[in-house]
Homo-oligomer: A and B are copies of this chain.
Amino acid sequence: MSRVTAANIDKALTVGEVAERSGVAVSALHFYERKGLIHSQRSAGNQRRYHRDVLRRVAVIKVAQRIGIPLAEVARALAGLPEARSPNARDWSRLSERWRQELDERIQRLTQLRDQLSDCIGCGCLSMTACRLRNPGDELSEQGPGARRWEGPREQPGDAG
């Protein structure tokens, strides 16, 4: 049907292909789809078929994960794109700038904590009421009962580089 050169370009990807190319487990792709982070068409036999754009989307997800953005927020950000399309360079620019700010703030909080900790080491002040380390709230203290966010990237335990 299509010319030979276009054949590979237009070809829809199976979930296994996306897993291999993105380095994300098939189960994770299913999970992302349930959470509305990615989308797929279905083949006649109900199997997922992905547009190549999904690779970029997954790449964005992976970077966001490393930054520590919870999936729910990534989902919101991706859903906020006009026409729910995959992020292009401009979209990525906006997203990454926002997330870099969050990352910056996180680094600042941790740095402040580290400095307080350094002050505190060896002083035994953990017993004192006035210890800054024991009394957050200066500029620290971050709420969010449901919104924990992890830190690590957590490579695939299975394999898939």
CB within 8 Å of B: which residues of A? 56, 59-60, 62-63, 66-68, 87-89, 92-93, 96-97, 99-100, 103-104, 106-107, 110-111, 113-114, 117-118, 120-124, 126-127, 133-134, 136, 140-145, 148-155, 157
Contact = CB atoms under 8 A, between A and B. Distances in A.
Contacts of A92: 121, 124, 126
Contact of A100 (B117, B140, B151): B117
Given A89-B124, A107-B107, A110-B151, 19 more contacts: A59-B126, A60-B126, A63-B134, A66-B113, A68-B151, A89-B123, A89-B126, A96-B121, A96-B122, A103-B110, A103-B113, A103-B117, A107-B110, A107-B111, A136-B153, A145-B157, A148-B152, A148-B154, A151-B151
